[in-house]
Amino acid sequence: MDHPVVAEIRQVVEVGETQITDLQVWRVGKRAYSCAMTILTHEPSLNAAVVREQLALHEAIVYSTIEIHHCPDC
């Protein structure tokens, strides 16, 4: 999807060496979006609850599915 909400999601999540490796975004209402993402990170404390809290700053994102892979050695 080529929409500013995609850039907003990436800006919130991709901090430091944390990367979104797969991102799907769907419009689910006039001003509402759902997303599913896979994240690769070196940050051991990063979990889905933390990401959802960060995404909550963007009211347009109403639902998210988050898969996180921790990679301490790569």
Split into its structural domains, the chain has a count of 1
pLDDT at site 1: 66
Return d(Cα 6, Cα 58) in angstroms, integer: 11
Instruction: Find the domain containing 35 and state its range.
Output: 4-70
Q: What is the pLDDT of residues 4-40, one digit of tens each?
A: 999 999 999 999 999 999 999 999 999 999 999 999 9
Average pLDDT over every residue of 69-73? 85
**CATH code, domain with 46:** 3.30.70.1350
- Angle at alpha carbon of residue 36, lines to 40 and 69, rounded to 5°: 20
Looking at residue 72, its amino acid is P
| pLDDT confidence bin for 2, thresholds 50/70/90 | confident
